[in-house]
Structure 1
Amino acid sequence: MRIVLDRPRCEGHGLCEEAAPTLMHLDDDGELVIDREEITDAEAGPAGAAVRVCPVAALRIE
């Protein structure tokens, strides 16, 4: 599984970072950086939470 970011949709709210801080973060410019695109089964919960809390649906899991 992997996390996919639709960069043009992302508005930098940071809710995903709160849900999955080990997988992603906002940089100094407020841009989302995916630290680990490939996720393990153990990370599926936080990754799914990050997808669900995004108010602009900029994240998905494939």
Structure 2
Amino acid sequence: MRIVVDRDLCDGIGMCQSMAHEFFELDDDDVMHVLEENPGEEHRKQLTAAINSCPVLALSLEG
């Protein structure tokens, strides 16, 4: 699976980071970075929760 970010929608709110800090990180300018773009299947439940928490729907999973 792959984490996909819609950069046009992302506002750098950080809900994803608070729920899955090992995969998402906000820099000092509130720009979100994906730390592991292709995580293992064992992380799907955690990532789905983090992605669903995004208030602007900027995140998704492929695969």
Question: For the superposition of Structure 1 and Structure 2, which TM-score range results when normalised by the shorter chain?
Answer: over 0.9
The answer for unaligned runs of 5 or more in structure 1 is none
Corresponding residue pairs, total: 62
SS state at 2:4 partner: strand
TM-score normalised by the chain length of structure 1: 0.94
- Name 2:41's counterpart in structure 1: 41
Higher helix share: 1
Match of 2:12 in 1: 12
Structure 1: 4+ residue segments shifted above 3 A: none
Identity %: 39
Q: TM-score, with normalisation over the residues of structure 2?
A: 0.93
CA RMSD after TM alignment: 0.7
